[in-house]
Amino acid sequence: MYRSLNGLPRDIVLLAGRVLLAYILIMHCWKKVDAGLFETAGTFSKFGIPLAIAAASFTIVVELVTTISLVLGLRMVVPMSLMTFVMAGAIFFVHGKNGLFMANNGWALVGTIICGLLALMASGPGKLSVDHVLSLARERRMQQTVVMRQPVAV
């Protein structure tokens, strides 16, 4: 029977996946920031994306926040859900009509990014993450609260 990774190997693979996906997203974000908001909005408008300036702003912020969230392994579900929405929009407005393959500006890369986001949303960030550190701290506080609330025998 096949088993998935667990223990430290699982956490290392999750960290590597998070960092690699974050690198891909920050490079997409940097391309938009480098071009400038108005040029990015102009490009969005050419693709028929409604409210292009708002969509460009939203996309840049979501890519940046998702990148930070992935690298840190911090509260990933909401940013990654928003990033999945952005990527679905990229398929709908830009890449979907070009087929699958990237040579034709198809949706393969965008679809792969969505797969990575969904997999990390389902698996969580692993133990090499800020979320794990925060959960350990929360557990310690809860244990201290329970100990402090126990009645003292007189």
Task: Tell me if 94 sits within 8 A of 88, measured CB to CB.
Answer: no
Region 10-22: what's the mean pLDDT?
Answer: 96
Tokens of 11: 């956490």
Region 40-51: what's the mean pLDDT?
Answer: 96
Region 36-55: what's the mean pLDDT?
Answer: 96
Q: Sign (positive/negative) of CA torsion 41, 110, 105, 67?
A: positive
User: Would you tell me how many other CB atoms lie within 10 Å of the CB of residue 84?
Assistant: 18
Task: Report the pLDDT value the prediction gives residue 33, as an integer from 0 to 100.
Answer: 95
* Matching residue, tokens 């960092």: 19
> Rounded to an integer, what distance in angstroms lies between the CA atom of residue 69 and that of residue 59?
15
Stretch (H or E) spanning 38: helix 37-46
Residue-wise pLDDT tens digits, 59-93: 999 999 999 999 999 999 999 999 999 999 999 99
